[in-house]
Structure 1
């Protein structure tokens, strides 16, 4: 390669000597400066010196330099690269979008019989992890043993981490058990490996066996619990972490705040927010968005907005989180205003932002606005709609009663519709009484999602509404014969930092007798108001009296009764429901809000309902 190809046209305004050139390399901040310094090295006769060449390779292979191709060009010109240089160029490609190049370079390293050290293997194993190359990892494992590095904890920990990432947990455990002197990285890698393969219990057993835990140990376990939807366990472990005197990092805080969001544990979320302020943790964009999401999902939009306003540089994620908050609270116009404001300040919406704003239009019945926004994705914003966006529009049209238009959109979609999209249209058919279309879609849903109990229940309900009892019974018999069960309804209420869960007909709560007495009082007042239970959506093989008894014990009713007992008059009651709130519970909650002069905020599977003075913000359509 000609020398001129390495010499940039830009010149330094002054000519440093040899000592100054080496000093400049250590302070170099961008590729243009480095190229100028490299040119000066040729002039001073330093172009083949090991130390400055190593410095050049180190800078060019760093993650943010953008100089990997330049590093390769420099490396190829070195007559006899030493081990450090080989490790450096391999590391650069292992961390890049071309990790296979790292493995090809290693083949050359072997061919030239270059000596290895303990830093060679972690970079190679990183490349293997990025390529999901288990077989190559096993070959490198053999090299580690062959070359005598099996006692080098740095190399072994990297191997352990690679096996864990691949899900080869048996290999990882075998290696872990054979490590003579495990350090904390060994333990943390093993915990992370078990979490990744879903063995949370085993991960926690290893966590408990650790004599010394660092913040990574605690964070890995807390994040694992949240990822497995074991949010109560995550919160408990976070409190244990504090008792142990370990200061949480931002990752642990994001996971813990996420657990609060899922549980609707507003009091605990507020406490963690105050704790963050008290100990002076820097609130980065990710932590800010986690706080906004937590307040949104706990029903406190004012506090979510307060967090948003305090962010100095508001990125698209923060704007999207706020828009999503207005969406699930049924405040479509506000969401549209914020969407417009976001663009005015120069923030471009992304695909997730459009999911949020289309959801807002759907929940608020803003059909024209939603259709216009959907059409603008490609035309104005150069964003290709995904299946999530089509699902939002189907839901939007279905809620508005435009069933055939929704069906046409599904039939002409460029991607295959999933069960969520068909389910949205089926719900609309049931609400708007298009039973023939509902029966067609119900059959499609069962074919596409045969293990989902809710699909059978929905189709059986459609048949029952059409008074086709034999077909309704047959669908339920299919469900029973296949051993498929419907996810049980669960409602939770968080009081004084403790989350209380209730299931339909549940008698396990320690205050259940008191709750039942409270419910009997509520039922009497409801009856005096002329309330009659709506039982049309209940199981077909129950008698009317049994249906009325069953519906009185729905989980949200038990949670509300408990809330009325344990909170002060006038205090807001917050309920989290894992399924869609049923028609009867929705009616009852509206009446309770009026009779007891309470605001009741209920988050069901898809949105928020704010019950106040006998009305709900969803407008009785959810």
Structure 2
């Protein structure tokens, strides 16, 4: 190779943008490297880079390669895959097969990933057949890609078959399979597989913990985390976020505080994601002071972080604080999103600041040009109803988009029904209740309407509603409470046996006695 060719290849390694690459490409042609496989591969690799490259230029370059190698095919397939151009990947893959070039252990995972993204089971099975035909089905990367694809299709039977038949399983394989079960809500099989794993690394622990959180098994999540603490494996950021989420939903403030202290002890930097998790946990556990302290101490914040803090204030009825924080968010240059406005509307509703909420609604539509989405309607209807604009609220509901789900429409009608009951608007309440009965069979609708009739002196109508509940088999859902004593979270529902309630009361009294004894 001549000195000019070597210099050209050296310049190719130093390219930082497409302008420089095109200049080096011109030199490569003049140096006689226009058909050099290595040089073309390097050029194509840079053009395929999602950050600095240009997919259009990469495609033009690829089309001028007379005899592309498997490496070049893999490079261009990966480029289109990273740009979510999945049909192009199959077009190139088919051309490769027609050219009698056999896919390798890099090509097949790319294609299986494309099948998963396209949610096309038929194409996935064709690629699976190709894996079997060329004998790569037991390859580590190909096998894991197959399991991932079938889990994406929620075909856990096929995924488990591939998993069980693969002799070269890795911890990644176990992690994918456990996550697949958790995704479809089968935490029982996920846990069985977790217990069978011969080696449990951080990924497997994280898959099981996040799987429990995804399926609202928060107690089980904390239990698994305690088991993990008995090992030498240190949790990562993702595991801590899952644990904080479990603490938030259980109201386990003591556990959440311990996790916060643990983060400080291990010296894990408080990222935006972790800080947001802590704020959410403290807010949902009722400690706004600690939530504010974490929020104020964060060096970096994103929109989600602001939303969580505003939602926390809203949850506790601090409408003025939520509104003040929203204005501060605007001043710092963050653009509010749909979730931000839902949080602000909720804060205004809970705090009786209906007119302020309607002013924010005007800003959302006219300043930020955000159209009302289906999830906004319940909040907007609640604001209008609390301000006394019941007929306007009804018109808003009737104008909901067709994309709104029955549950979203039910939320809006329920807000109107509640306001009608509070303001004793019987006729409009009947309209809302009738629509709610069509949307959902929920005891709350009947109870609200019955109470409204009773408050207005219409006792015969109240009895009629109660009789209707019995005839339709609608039971009032009992209230549920939970209490944490000595680190154990106990749950009980209204109407349970008195001895269970007395047991819990005795546990609380014992704890108080111990505290008094200690202080004495």
Do both share a fold (TM > 0.5)?
yes
**Residue 468 of structure 2: aligned partner:** 475
Q: 1:318 aligns with which of 305, 328, 351?
A: 305
1:360 and 2:318 aligned: no
Q: Distance in 2 between matches of 1:428 and 1:332?
A: 19
1:438 to 429, 433, 445: 429
CA distance, structure 1, for counterparts of residue 12 and residue 222 of structure 2: 48
RMSD: 2.5
Verify the 8 A CA contact 2:482 2:489 in the aligned structure 1: yes
1:423 corresponds to 2:368:
no
SS at match of 2:368: coil
SS in 1 for 2:283: helix
1:513 pairs, out of 494, 502, 505, with: 502
Compared CA separation, residues 318 and 487, structure 1 to 2 (3 A): same
Distance 2:377 2:171 in 1: 47
Cα distance per residue 1:308-367 (max 9 Å; x no partner) = 223222221211111111111111111111111111111111111111111111111112
1:11 matched residue in structure 2: none
How is 1:194-233 mapped onto 2 (pairs within 5 angstroms)? 194-233=181-220
CA-to-aligned-CA distance 1:197-252 (integer Å, 9 cap, x gap): 21110110001001101111111111111111110100111111121221112111
1:490 and 2:480 equivalent?
Answer: yes
Q: Distance in 1 between matches of 2:453 and 2:47?
A: 67
- Cα pair 2:444 2:476 within 8 Å, conserved: yes
1:22-60 CA distance string (max 9 Å, x none) = 344445444444334334433433333222322333333
Q: 2:269 aligns to what SS in structure 1? A: coil
Runs of 4+ in 1 over 6 A off after TM superposition: 568-571
Aligned partner of residue 418 in structure 1, secondary structure? helix
Q: Higher relative contact order by CA 8 Å / sep ≥ 6: 1 or 2? A: 1
1:294 alignment counterpart? 281
- Contact 2:348-2:383 at 8 Å conserved across structures: yes
* Structure 2 Cα separation of the partners of residues 210 and 508 of structure 1: 43
2:505 aligned with 1:566, yes or no? no
Q: Tell whether 2:376 aligns with 1:377.
A: no
CA distance 1:42–1:453, shift in 2 (3 Å): farther
Which residues in structure 2 correspond to 1:549-560 (within 5 Å)? none
Q: State the match for 2:490 in structure 1.
A: 500
Give me the whole-angstrom Cα distance separating, in 1, the residues matched to 2:451 and 2:83: 54
Structure (1 or 2) with the greater helix fraction? 2
Partners of 1:503 and 1:371 in 2: CA distance: 38
**TM-score of the pair, normalised by structure 2:** 0.91
Whether contact under 8 Å (2:212, 2:218) holds in the other structure is: yes
Q: 1:352 to 1:143 in 2, by over 3 A?
A: same
Q: Which runs of 5+ in 2 are unaligned?
A: none
Residues 215-364 of structure 1: pairs in structure 2 closer than 5 A: 215-364=202-351
Paired with 1:203 and 1:355, the residues of 2 have a C-alpha distance of 35
Cα distance in 1 between the residues matched to 2:323 and 2:167: 61
Query: How many residues were matched structurally?
Result: 507
Which secondary structure state, in structure 2, belongs to the residue aligned with residue 80 of structure 1?
coil
The answer to whether the Cα contact below 8 Å between 1:362 and 1:393 also exists between their aligned partners in 2 is no
The answer (yes or no) to whether the contact 1:378–1:384 under 8 Å persists in 2 is yes
Q: Decide whether aligned partners of structure 1 residues 71 and 486 sit closer, same or farther in structure 2, where only a CA change above 3 A counts.
A: farther
Deviation at 1:20, TM superposition (A): 4.5
Cα offset for 1:567?
4.7
Question: 1:537 — aligned with what?
Answer: none
Q: CA deviation at 1:414?
A: 4.1
Q: Which residue of 1 aligns with 2:385?
A: 398
Cα 1:46–1:206 change in 2 (3 A) is same
Displacement of 1:420 after TM fit? 0.8
Deviations 1:472-529 (A, max 9, x none): 133212441xxx555432212334433222221334986x43556x7xxxxxxxxxxx
Contact 2:469 2:475 in 1 (8 A): no
Matched position secondary structure for 2:66: coil
Instruction: Determine if contact 1:362/1:399 at 8 Å carries over to the other structure.
Output: yes
CA gap of 1:87–1:205, structure 2 versus 1, over 3 A, is same
Structure 1: which 5+ runs fail to align? 1-15, 519-561, 572-622
2:440 equivalent to 1:449: yes
